[in-house]
Amino acid sequence: MKKFVFIFIALMTLGFGIQAVNLVTPEGDKEVKAEELANIETTSLSGIVLDNETGEALVGVAIRFEGSKETVYTDFDGNFKIENVVPGKYNVLSSYISYTDNKLKEVNVSGKNNVIRLVLKKH
């Protein structure tokens, strides 16, 4: 019985090994197969979000590209990273409780090191 369970789990894992990856493009999100991702040039965008008065890092700020459903959140140091980004121009939106919503910043994502700094203002 243990062999059967092991074989069943192994087969299920292989069957689900072909997954789709969400790709962020200037036109919006696109789902591609994991093996196709190797043929598409992608990069990432990372950054930090700070309070404009205190300069303190903000934890839990929602960050996304305009037109994209994928949202990432800042960590305890105010840092975030969006992966699988096709190079291009994007509008970055941020949202945080008691801060001005939808801070819009246009960024040109290209190359390997795409780092931005967002400074949010309280209402």
Q: Specify the range with the lowest mean pLDDT, choosing from 3-7, 64-68, 73-77, 117-121.
A: 3-7
Is the confidence at residue 7, as pLDDT, over 60? no
pTM reported for the whole predicted model? 0.77
Average pLDDT over residues 43-63: 96
Identify which of 47, 45, 43 has the alpha carbon closest to the alpha carbon of residue 116: 47
Is the confidence at residue 40, as pLDDT, over 90? no
Portion of the chain with pLDDT greater than 90, in percent: 55
Is the confidence at residue 62, as pLDDT, over 90? yes
The helix/strand/coil state of 59 is coil
User: Going from the N-terminus, what domains does the chain have, and what CATH number goes with each?
Assistant: 2-120 (2.60.40.10)
Is the confidence at residue 110, as pLDDT, over 60? yes
Query: What is the model's pLDDT at position 53?
Result: 95
Query: What is the model's pLDDT at position 13?
Result: 52
84-100 pLDDT, tens digit per residue, is 999 999 999 999 999 98
